[in-house]
Amino acid sequence: MNADIQLSDTHPHGTPAGFSEGCHGSHCPAVMACRDVHRRYVGDFSFKRRFDAGVTLVQIMAQDAEEAAQERLKARQDTRVKRAQKRRSQGNAANLRLAVRLIPEPVLRQNLADGLTDQQIADLHQLERAQITKMRSYLHLPCNPARRSGAEAIALVRTVAHLSNEDAAKELGLSIEYIRKRRRDIRLEDAA
């Protein structure tokens, strides 16, 4: 590019026509050099469409900067989500390995098929209910909730009133804490 083109007020700097008329250098006085405008105009359809619609180079550059900032933000958020998922999956895998050591998966599936609740399975294998719940939820197995109403439970516990809490729990297949709680309910009901 010669000095006449660079300093000319009539030369269409910052346009594809400016490039084709001889402005090929990096010292173009436009906001975006003619060679860069030409490259974008030929190779970027969205740039060409905006340029032909009359959008100025300053506006196009501002839009491009905004889009780039949004893409960087989205990439950062995606990276955070992926890291969190990786940490979560590593934690779940560790929990599952721990749970698998405590009770084999086929045994858990059989216990659930037999209609046992998480608490009953935990009592049966001398584990915590939370351990059974974690393993069951990790394997996406449905739970078997205890579906007794208060009156049914009290009537059931009254049938083993002559037994100790431990023996009653074994007899009914319930936890000792459940038996204690229902016996408290019976005493409160009788006192009223």
Per-residue model confidence as pLDDT tens digits over 85-141:
877 777 666 665 655 567 888 888 888 887 788 888 888 888 888 888 888 888 888
Whether residues 47 and 61 fall in one domain: no
Whether residues 119 and 89 fall in one domain: yes
pLDDT at 4 over 60: no
Whether residues 141 and 81 fall in one domain: yes
Q: Output the DSSP codes for 62-107.
A: HHHHHHHHHHHHHHHHHHHHHHHHHHHHHHHHHHHHHHHHHS-HHH
Domain end position, chosen among 55, 73, 91: 55
Whether residues 31 and 42 fall in one domain: yes
Range of the domain at 167: 150-191
Q: How far apart are CA 109 and CA 106, in angstroms?
A: 5
Residues 6+ apart with CB under 8 A from 38: 16, 19, 20
pLDDT digits (tens, 9 = 90+) for 143-175: 776 655 566 667 777 888 888 888 888 887 777
The total number of structural domains that make up the chain: 3
Whether residues 105 and 137 fall in one domain: yes
Whether residues 86 and 156 fall in one domain: no
